[in-house]
Structure 1
Amino acid sequence: MDHRVYGVETEFGLTHRPETGRGLPPDELARYLFRPVVEFGRSSNIFIPNGSRLYLDVGSHPEYATAECDDLIDLIASDRAGERVMHDLAVEAEERIHRDGFTGQVYVLKNNVDSAGNSYGSHENYLIPRTTHFRRLSGILLPFLVTRQIISGAGRVVPAEDSREAHFAFSQRADHMWEGISSATTRSRPIINTRDEPHADAANHRRLHVIVGDSNMSTATSLLRYGSTDLVLRMIEAGVPIEDFELENPIAAIRAISHDITGRAGVRTRNGEQVTAVQIQRGIFQRVSRFISEHGAHHEHVDQILELWERALEAVESGDHSLIDQDIDWAIKKRLVEDVSNQRGLGMDHPRLEQIDMAYHDVNPDRGLFHLLVRRGRATDFVTDEQVTRAMTTPPPTRAAIRGEFLSTARVYGAECTVDWVHHKLTDRPLEAIMVKDPFAQHDERIESLLDRLGDRKNHLRERSLHERIQQGVTLALTDKYSLAPGTVVPEPPLI
């Protein structure tokens, strides 16, 4: 597929830490967090004018699903915009909580496991051709996804348990996967979900739904995670032969690999061979590199993805994690944890290190440790603040642009409407619901005609740009809502 759309759904951890006593329970805290959402959209499940979806998922987890994107940097900026939206909601929730007589702070964490061991996900979506042979795809893709954690895992301080000592692992998500392939998501947590829900023309497309990935703070890690997967998919779609790495037991393998930070844990393939995660990744990487040299790069980020991929494999294979400890989440976090451990003489089982693990994923830009590392030059960032700010209010140039304009224009005219990934409907014109099945479409004359009936829309648009209408009509998207007065200096929290 020369052209692809991507999306990522991120579930966030949510907690309240009062000055004394126990914090608010998750369901009550979620109601505080989503009160502006319900006031805005009369529901806790809405689309916002940047084309993305905002909702509460199972277990009172706030979730943000990016708009469909056809560029990886747009995808990463949209994902980061979701962090900003969640942070804005947390700030307002904290203010409401204080007005109601409670104390303390509200934390939104972009991670995958809480202190009680519960897991929540980061789900990737890739549009693939309907003609793709799914059995062949899964046979190649499963070994890649099982081992992908060594190049894109978030890292985790694993507490001591039974006979296992506390240690550092590649992935937060690996221990919580239960099947290789399944149509379920919450009950069995498969690596690949087979539910056939393309949100596009089902005759031509299907949606590959991957739920094994860790939530990433580092945009470099995100680029490698999505970009490497996209490259593997392109080889599969092109029918390129790839070495057989199909695993005998993918679930046992994913856990064994996660807990061996050396990358040398042996896992068994179906043909009885013992291989390591590095060997599998190296074999796939070499085939991808040949594929690119023979067919050319399909977008401008390919060289950067291949360089990151090769460097990450070298770091794991050699044990020199300094090669990637500013780019790849698990290595950035591992360096931070080891610095604190060495400076304070703490063992890996010390609660302080688990706290640092959590604080790394805090989306608060002034408090979160990842953001602090970026400011101190200890972590790279591949997207700019300007790109993220724009992504909060401006849809990417895909079908999301149609959805965003539909929502914004209807709101400006006070017209109630409902949308989902495909459907667009004005509430008072239910028989005129319009389906846009092409995820690459940026304009639709049927939508334009429907909106034109709301009033003298063309003159109105000449007076106020789409961006201005969004800013006036959607409080969730205001990027300056909680900005500081000019000249205000925010003190940085200490690392240790």
Structure 2
Amino acid sequence: MSVRRVMGTETEFGISVQGQPLANPMVASSRVVNAYASSSVRARRARWDFEEESPLRDARGFDMSRQVADASQLTDEDLGLANVILTNGARLYVDHAHPEYSTPECTTPRDIVLWDKAGEQVALDACRFAAANGQATGEPEIVLYKNNTDNKGASYGSHENYLMRRATPFADIVKNLTPFFVSRQVVCGAGRVGLGQDGRGVGFQISQRADFFEVEVGLETTLKRPIINTRDEPHADPGKYRRLHVIIGDANLAETSTYLKVGTTSLVLAMIEDRFLEAELAVRRPVQTLHEVSHDPGLSHLLELHDGRRLTAVQLQWEYLHRAQAYVDQTLGGDVDRQTRDVLERWESVLTRLERDPMECADELDWVAKLRLLEQYRDRDGLEWDDAKLAMIDLQYSDLRPQKGLYHRLVALGRMKRLLEDAEVEQAMHEPPSDTRAYFRGRCLDKYADAVAAASWDSVIFDLPGHESLQRVPTVDPLRGSRAHVGALIDSCDDAVSLFAALTRSTA
């Protein structure tokens, strides 16, 4: 009934080796992650525990055969690639050809923005460490980009994860969430020069990811990408929860875009769980419509609904907003929490301005900020949309380096609104959220680093003197292991042996 739920994000960063366009991206990614592991006092060498991973389990009630699965789906295999668990509860690792940062488990949209931004800084530091390490051997600089495509036909993900009630029928999720995702890009698109998967089409579009989606529902994440992903890997009690794995979002730098992306989605999921979305909002030809909405930065394209109505993407977002406002009023009344109210107010404000003139959102939304920059260059230099200079500006917007990235320049000039302070982002690079199990994981890695053999989302594994085997501490409930539950206990235990003894006594 509010925006609060357990959620997280995963970002695969684009990677470039300066002066070496044919460099092996897997080697470069490993170099970046290993540099962070060896240079940061906050990175830990504990291995990632793959035992509870189940990437081929499908929410529709079956498991995909490993023999037919694409290699990119086998995320439960330890390939020996660089992998670091951070003291803020996050994970930094190599996902095939990209460095990837997964936030710790958070419970509010603002916390997602905070630990997502912390991930950008972690990735930036990793590049700096790699550059310092490479000076002696003459290795070239590595640059990371928070974007989603190389404009040569490849796309890499920016995923979201939301814990939901297992009792919610998956068919209801598909029915009610598909139209929302088709239209959500007008709020959280990152903007892109070029149309089509290879970017050869001339023009500008709202979303970097839209053109890479080919089916409505499916398990794959790199081939035949679906609007609704069916991976059923809860990382929690499977009898109570499912973890909705969302692969359709763009990688956002604008804090308002990220905030509304997860905040509005969390509200829609709450309405789905409570069966509040009775009216039919299904769109015809959702995959084709997804592409058409992205290709229409003027926001005039009319989507066809199954009930015969024709609405713009902004108008369809209004339909969801009005239902969310009614839902919150009915379920919370005057007791609505501040962040839920803020998400509703910002959602309404953004839609109002997008409808009036999208450029009014240029200081809050990525795609509009990028479009305004590009139009300024087009007007000044008389550039057509197929000019290579515009493609370079598109890429430079997402450069993580503060002195190079155009997003960062806009922030420095006061032309992008922020929700966060630099000091809290710096703190979130090293400290975990206090209200989820990430607190236990992060504190253990920080205080008992030598005793932690491995960890995952749902366990911490200790290697303790006096024990012949490794000792697993399960963290199946994402809301336990918080500061309120274990903060005083960790503070009072000087070593992992005493912590484990106290934990086993309390559960005996």
Note whether the superposition's TM-score is higher than 0.5.
Answer: yes
Match runs of 1:265-304 below 5 Å: 265-296=301-332, 298-304=336-342
SS of 1:198's partner is: coil
Q: Which amino acid is the alignment partner of residue 386 of structure 1?
A: A
Does structure 2 conserve the Cα–Cα contact (< 8 Å) formed by 1:409 and 1:451?
A: no
Q: Deviations over 1:138-197 (max 9, x none)?
A: 211110011100111111111699998621111000001122221222232212222211
SS of 1:365's partner is: coil
SS of 2:338's partner is: coil
Whole-angstrom distance in 1 between the partners of 2:225 and 2:198: 24
Shift of 1:282: 1.5
* Structure-2 residue corresponding to 1:226: 262
Whole-angstrom distance in 2 between the partners of 1:263 and 1:99: 52
Q: Deviations over 1:266-289 (max 9, x none)?
A: 333334544331231121111112
* Structure-2 residue corresponding to 1:36: 35
Does structure 2 conserve the Cα–Cα contact (< 8 Å) formed by 1:434 and 1:446?
A: no
SS of 2:128's partner is: helix
Matching residue within 345, 363, 366 for 1:326: 363
Q: Which runs of 5+ in 2 are unaligned?
A: 39-43, 48-80, 501-508
Matching residue within 80, 88, 104 for 2:117: 80
Is 1:211 matched with 2:210?
no
* Structure-2 residue corresponding to 1:149: 185
For the structure 1 residues 307 and 396, does the alpha-carbon distance in structure 2 shift closer, same or farther, using more than 3 Å as the test?
A: same
Match runs of 1:7-46 below 5 Å: 7-18=8-19, 22=21, 24-37=23-36, 39=38, 41=45, 44-46=82-84
Report the count of equivalent residues: 451
Moved more, 168-177 or 309-318: 309-318
Shift of 1:261: 1.3
Q: Deviations over 1:173-229 (max 9, x none)?
A: 000112222122223221222221111111211111111000100001111111111
Whole-angstrom distance in 2 between the partners of 1:302 and 1:456: 41
TM-score (normalizing by structure 2): 0.83
Match runs of 1:239-254 below 5 Å: 239-254=275-290
Q: Superposition RMSD on alpha carbons, in Å?
A: 2.7
Match runs of 1:313-352 below 5 Å: 313-318=351-356, 320-352=357-389
Shift of 1:242: 3.8
* Structure-2 residue corresponding to 1:97: 134
* Structure-1 residue corresponding to 2:439: 401
Q: Which runs of 5+ in 1 are unaligned?
A: 459-496
For the structure 1 residues 342 and 437, does the alpha-carbon distance in structure 2 shift closer, same or farther, using more than 3 Å as the test?
A: same
Match runs of 1:423-462 below 5 Å: 423-428=459-464, 429=467, 430-441=469-480, 442=482, 443-444=485-486, 454=496
Q: Deviations over 1:70-108 (max 9, x none)?
A: 1221211100111001101111222333322244x3210
* Structure-2 residue corresponding to 1:50: 88
* Structure-2 residue corresponding to 1:139: 175
Identity, % of aligned pairs?
36
TM-score (normalizing by structure 1): 0.84
SS of 1:55's partner is: strand
* Structure-2 residue corresponding to 1:238: 274
Whole-angstrom distance in 2 between the partners of 1:404 and 1:133: 34
* Structure-1 residue corresponding to 2:411: 374
Is 1:310 matched with 2:311?
no
Shift of 1:122: 0.8
Whole-angstrom distance in 1 between the partners of 2:207 and 2:497: 53
Is 1:353 matched with 2:354?
no
* Structure-1 residue corresponding to 2:64: none
Does structure 2 conserve the Cα–Cα contact (< 8 Å) formed by 1:113 and 1:120?
A: yes
SS of 1:99's partner is: coil
Does structure 2 conserve the Cα–Cα contact (< 8 Å) formed by 1:410 and 1:451?
A: no
Q: Deviations over 1:18-69 (max 9, x none)?
A: 2xx64633123223212235645276123211000111112x1110000001
Q: Deviations over 1:118-154 (max 9, x none)?
A: 1011111111111212211221111001110011111
Whole-angstrom distance in 1 between the partners of 2:443 and 2:259: 28
Q: Which amino acid is the alignment partner of residue 275 of structure 1?
A: L
* Structure-2 residue corresponding to 1:183: 219
Does structure 1 conserve the Cα–Cα contact (< 8 Å) formed by 2:164 and 2:244?
A: yes
Does structure 2 conserve the Cα–Cα contact (< 8 Å) formed by 1:199 and 1:421?
A: yes
Shift of 1:446: 13
